[in-house]
């Protein structure tokens, strides 16, 4: 992750030296704030689209500190000179950046692991930085929050719900059926039977 952030910083610095405006694509909620946190800490002056800027205000209202960021508004060469822009990918599709003739665009997404992302997002570079929690981080979050009940959705929702059940949590997948985990499995007994049932396609 730190390597990817270093690449983003280098990308922005090189663009500036070439007389170009560095533009980073990231969704207005979550991704934009993560980019701001990483680059703003380095001291880059940053402008963000209106939706992302409003989300930053909400973050601050909820107690999350963020580096300073200006509101982009209408794009002009004069306004953006010397700044990094953080805007959503949709701005490229809407051709909202065409007024900037000297721009260098990078997308920040977990999909950057697929090199075709450069063509899909119509950009010059792609940075593989995902704001999604991995398996261990999801487990850690549940243990910290200690909810009465967990509902899982998307991806391996059923499998994750069953894993949480094994750890003693009341958990259900929102789609499909989640197999009940009985005490024998929770105590670590009968896991072999569970493994065999999964291999037979029983969920």
pLDDT at 95: 80
**Sign of the dihedral defined by the CA atoms of residues 168, 170, 173, 177, in that order:** positive
Model confidence pLDDT, tens digit, residues 55-74: 999 999 999 999 999 999 99
pLDDT at 136: 85
CB 27 within 8 A of CB 89: yes
Q: How many residues does the chain have?
A: 203
Coarse DSSP helix, strand, coil percentages of the chain, rounded to the nearest 5 percent:
45, 15, 40
What's the chain's Rg over C-alpha atoms?
A: 22
Return the exposure string of 131-163: e unless at least 16 CB atoms fall within 10 Å of the residue's CB, then b.
beeeeeebbeebeeeeeeebebeeeebbbbbbb
pLDDT at 113: 76
* Chunked mean pLDDT (size 10), the chain, 203 residues: 92 95 94 93 91 97 96 92 95 85 92 84 90 82 95 86 94 72 45 43 39
pLDDT at 196: 43
pLDDT at 177: 56
CB 152 within 8 A of CB 174: yes
**Domains of the chain, with CATH numbers?**
2-127 (3.40.50.10890), 135-198 (no CATH)
């Amino acid at each position: 992750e730190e390597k990817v952030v270093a690449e983003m910083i280098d990308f922005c610095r090189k663009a500036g030296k070439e007389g170009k405006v560095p533009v980073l694509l990231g969704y207005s909620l979550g991704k934009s704030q993560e980019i701001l946190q990483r680059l703003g800490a380095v001291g880059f002056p940053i402008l963000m689209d209106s939706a992302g800027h409003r989300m930053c205000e909400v973050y601050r209202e909820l107690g999350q500190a963020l580096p300073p960021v200006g509101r982009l508004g209408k794009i002009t060469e004069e306004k953006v000179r010397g700044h990094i822009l953080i805007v959503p990918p949709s701005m490229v599709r809407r051709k909202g950046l065409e007024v900037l003739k000297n721009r260098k665009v990078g997308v920040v997404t977990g999909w950057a692991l697929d090199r075709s992302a450069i063509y899909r997002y119509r950009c010059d570079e792609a940075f593989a930085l995902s704001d999604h929690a991995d398996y261990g981080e999801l487990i850690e979050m549940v243990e910290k929050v200690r909810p009465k009940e967990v509902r899982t959705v998307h991806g391996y929702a059923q499998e994750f719900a069953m894993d949480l059940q094994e750890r003693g949590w009341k958990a259900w997948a929102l789609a499909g059926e989640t197999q009940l985990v009985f005490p024998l499995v929770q105590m670590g007994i009968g896991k072999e039977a569970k493994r065999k049932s999964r291999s037979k396609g029983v969920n």
